[in-house]
Every structure is written in C-alpha cells, then in structure tokens.
Amino acid sequence: MIDGEGIDLIAAEYALGTLPADERAAAALRARREPLLAAAIEAWGERLAPLAELVAPRTAPAQLWPLIEARVDALAAAQTAAHAQIIFIEHRLGRWRAAAIAASAIAASLLLFVGYREFVRVPQERTLVAVLQKDAQSPAFLVSVDLDKRLMTIRPVSAEPQRGKSYELWLVNEELKTPRSLGIVGDKPFTVVQPQLAGYSPNVIEQATLAVSLEPEGGSPTGAPTGPVLWAGKLIQATK
C-alpha cells in the first residue's frame, strides 16, 4: 500500500500532466476506487488552477484551417482508394471476405490516426512551469516560462511580504556552478522577468531548478544567496 506522501506525489504529477500515458491511465483507474487518491488529485488541481491564468490565449494561424481541409481531402481520397482495393480483393478472394474487412478497418483507423496527428501538429510555444514550495502542502509561488521568448511570469500563492526583507529568485543549474539571481519577486500579483533569462541557453533553463531565498530589503548584497532558501521547484514541460 502506498503511504500518504506517495499518494500526494502521484496526485501532483497527475495534476501537472507529467505522468507517462500508461501510469496516468493507471492513476485514473486507481482514483475511481481510492477516495484518498481522488481527493489528492482534486486538491492539486485546485492548487495549480492559477497556472491557467499565466498562459496567454493564442489565436490559431490563419493558414491552419486550409491545411486541415487539405489533409482531410487527402485522407478521404486515400480512404476511397483503400475501399476500391478492398472491393477488388473481395471479388478475387471471396473466401477471405471477413479477414479483408477486418484488415481494412484497422488500416482506416491507422490512417485516420496518422492523418489527424499530422494536420493538428502546428507550431506551439514551449512553456515550462514550476511550483516553488517547501513541501507538497505549501506552494508559495507558481512560475511559467515561455522558453522561446525568455519570458517568465511569477504568481505568489501563499508567500506574504516580510517587513524589511525581500524575496529573491535564483536560477540553479550544475553548468552555472553558482546560483544566478533572477531578481526580486513577490511585491506584485505578477512579476515578469525577461532580460535576466536572455543570457541563458534553452538547455540550461530546461534543466534548471528555481529557488527563493529571504534576503535584506532590495536583495542579496553579495550576488549570492545570504538568507535561508525558503522554497524551490524544478522546471518541467507544461502539458499541451
């Protein structure tokens, strides 16, 4: 039996969409018969709901619909050709009629799947997210990163300003050797950090951990964390 911490970890990954397809399906089945797991998934969904507000709506490219129509037309032509071939096979090999129908159904399904996957594949921005927390029950900040634009958006969840102190955000990656400051956070509902990310490669950002330390007002005077690290979280690929 999985303990409470294990259930909470599965629920968090389920809500974030980071579980592999087979594990996600297994978790969904478990949630139907395990009230504790279902409640944990619902709780994580409520915690992460504000992330949806961090992603700006996107308008589909004008050329997308014509591309879809062209794919559908091509798919219809392919299905027509496949159907004609099936009829030919039925006339020539009547004794294999049942097998031919079954094979054609499978082929049509595969064709539909491949065609759908191809025509809905449109360029999408790469978005990373992170929940900065000290444990699963206390998320302090939600972070969203548009990797292509090097644009970071931060939303405080439970972190409250401390008088005479500042929260400072740090980028941590083994390639950087030392933590790199991304600036002061937490004074406004949303804090957008852009220039600070421009100097880092996508690989460094994708593999990074974000951390928040408590510093003197205005930030660390040394360029490195001087106060306690209160919250941290790993950047992960957002599910589209």
Contact 64, 124 (CB under 8 A): no
> Distance from CA of residue 165 to its chain's centroid?
33
CATH classification for the domain delimited by 127-237, as one of 1.10.10, 2.30.30, 2.60.40, 1.10.3470: 2.60.40
Contact 197, 205 (CB under 8 A): yes
Contact 199, 153 (CB under 8 A): no
Q: Which pLDDT score, from 0 to 100, does residue 17 have?
A: 81
Dihedral of CA atoms 138, 144, 145, 151 in degrees, nearest 10, equals: -120
Q: Identify which of 193, 206, 106, 94 has the alpha carbon closest to the alpha carbon of residue 151.
A: 193
Q: Which pLDDT score, from 0 to 100, does residue 60 have?
A: 67
The rounded distance, in Å, linking the Cα atoms of 83 and 104 is 8
Q: Which pLDDT score, from 0 to 100, does residue 112 have?
A: 47
pLDDT tens over the chain, length 240 residues: 455 667 888 888 888 888 888 888 888 899 899 999 899 898 888 887 777 666 666 676 777 778 787 877 777 777 776 666 666 555 555 554 555 455 454 544 444 444 444 444 444 557 888 888 887 667 888 888 888 888 888 888 888 888 999 999 999 998 988 999 998 987 677 777 777 788 888 888 888 899 999 999 999 999 899 989 998 988 888 755
The rounded distance, in Å, linking the Cα atoms of 120 and 237 is 20
The rounded distance, in Å, linking the Cα atoms of 209 and 205 is 8
pTM for this entry: 0.53
Q: CA-CA distances (angstroms) from residue 184 to 107, 131, 148, 220?
A: 57, 17, 23, 9
Q: Which pLDDT score, from 0 to 100, does residue 167 have?
A: 92
Dihedral sign for Cα atoms in the order 180, 185, 190, 191: negative
Q: Which pLDDT score, from 0 to 100, does residue 225 have?
A: 93
> Mutual orientation of helices 97-119 and 64-92 as an angle, nearest 10°?
170
Q: Where are the domains of the chain?
A: 4-54, 64-119, 127-237
